[in-house]
Structure 1
Amino acid sequence: MDNDAHIPRCRAPRPRAAAFFDVEGTLLALPELPPDGPGPPLGRLWHPPVLAALHTHAARGHLVVLVTPSPAGAVAPVARELGAHAVLCARPKAPMTGQGKGYAARALLREHALLAADCYAYADEAADLPLLAEVGNPVVVGADPVLLRHARRGNWARLPAPVPREI
């Protein structure tokens, strides 16, 4: 398998778990990031329950990973503001969608020798199922019917959907 996903080295000291956060529609109440990033102020764009979960994971020393189909430049302001340890984003010939998210998450877990059972992922749509399937603690954000079926079968955690907002 050839996966060119952007997986930078993290700056966290030997994390014992990772928490993956889908950005658009999950962490931010936006369907997609503008090419130059959301720009300030981000405060009103955060989805409070997911942002609180991110801060909880960071406080526990977990590797905080943002996952987005947007290019690095668009997500950079979000990653900086949150102090994310890694960003999995789109690159030429390596879209960060669907199964690409799952492959990239698996590669990051392997790179950092993390057990999937100890890790978390937060996502909002059926296309994110490969990402959610890579961790032991998937969290469905919102009411996507496909994800809700998986959540019921697997006893996955759930958070409410964000209120859509414009920049």
Structure 2
Amino acid sequence: MTATATAPAPSVPRPRSASGAGVGGGGGARGERPRSGRRTGCAAFFDVDGTLLSRSSPVTFWELWVRLAQGLGREGEFAALMEQAREGRERAELNRAYFRLFRGVPRWHLEAVGRIWFEQVRAAPDALLAAPAAALAGHRRRGDAVVLVSGSGLPWLAPLARSLGADLVLAPRQLTDGSGILTGGIDAPMIGAGKALAVRTTLSALRLDPDRCYAYGDHISDLPMLAEVGRPVAVGGLASAPGAAGWPALAAAPGPFRPVAGS
């Protein structure tokens, strides 16, 4: 049997604890039970990239990872993925291929770089899309459960979710071996039908009425997720898609990052 090589460590200090983030995650209704939503009986599900964030988090995280990692040597693989995305390769396949870039990496390395990534996002003047971020803050003030649903990585989404006051993150679970080294695999892509299944499972687990709940998305691949709730909201260009006709719409204009007080 051939041993799996461990990728070089990025130049960040190792934390004392390699435990996971306090915000739950996984490829379904996994993670902590939301603290909110019980009073209102309502949840609001938000796609992340292009709905809350102005730039793709897998891309910006990779850019940071390459700058911090020493000799990772997988820049060509990432460039090939970007080209395949432009050519229209199926998004779920791209999702799996993206996480294979981190094979052989200790999970704590991703979590450490994820915290650095979040600090850069928080400092950017145009990190968030203003109208969807304001909608999220409004749901939190009302006591609705706020759930992020994304095909991106939990190691960097978790600090973002905590700062926004989200209760739960539904994202692919990256698989590890017995020593905490990433295998490059995930349990399931969180794209298209995968998002819809995750939302449906979460609604059932929390015993919420789908007709009272909200979902926000910006891409046609978000349509199955938005169809799971009674109050879908289209962000940016999705408003012009045939499947979103008649839905409320929000502009995709960027604005500064404003963390939720007390989150």
TM-score, length of structure 2 as denominator length? 0.56
* Equivalent in the alignment of 1:21: 46
1:85 to 140, 163, 167: 167
* Equivalent in the alignment of 1:107: 201
* Equivalent in the alignment of 2:230: 136
Greater strand fraction, Structure 1 or Structure 2: 1
* Equivalent in the alignment of 2:249: 158
1:5 to 28, 32, 57: 28
SS at match of 2:148: strand
Tell me the distance in 2 between the aligned counterparts of 1:95 and 1:48.
27
Q: Deviations over 1:61-88 (max 9, x none)?
A: 1000011111210201111101111000
The CA deviation at 1:20 is 0.4
Greater helix fraction, Structure 1 or Structure 2: 2
Which segments of 5 or more consecutive residues in structure 2 lack a partner in the other structure?
Answer: 1-25, 63-112, 174-185, 256-263
Q: 2:37·2:144 contact (CA, 8 Å) conserved in 1?
A: no
- Across the aligned residues of Structure 1 and Structure 2, the Cα RMSD in angstroms comes to 2.1
Tell me the distance in 2 between the aligned counterparts of 1:84 and 1:102.
19
Matches within 5 A, 1:118-137: 118-137=212-231
Q: 1:27·1:51 contact (CA, 8 Å) conserved in 2?
A: yes
The CA deviation at 1:30 is 1.1
Q: 2:28·2:199 contact (CA, 8 Å) conserved in 1?
A: no
Which segments of 5 or more consecutive residues in structure 1 lack a partner in the other structure?
Answer: none
The residue type equivalent to 1:5 in the other structure is: G
Tell me the distance in 2 between the aligned counterparts of 1:126 and 1:11.
30
Tell me the distance in 1 between the aligned counterparts of 2:149 and 2:142.
20
Report sequence identity in percent.
42
Q: 2:47·2:149 contact (CA, 8 Å) conserved in 1?
A: yes
* Equivalent in the alignment of 1:67: 149
SS at match of 2:119: coil
* Equivalent in the alignment of 1:49: 131
The CA deviation at 1:151 is 2.1
The CA deviation at 1:163 is 4.7
Q: 1:6·1:89 contact (CA, 8 Å) conserved in 2?
A: no
Q: Assess, with a 3 A threshold, how the Cα gap between structure 1 residues 139 and 13 changes in structure 2: closer, same or farther.
A: closer
2:251 is the counterpart of 1:149: no
Tell me the distance in 2 between the aligned counterparts of 1:22 and 1:123.
5
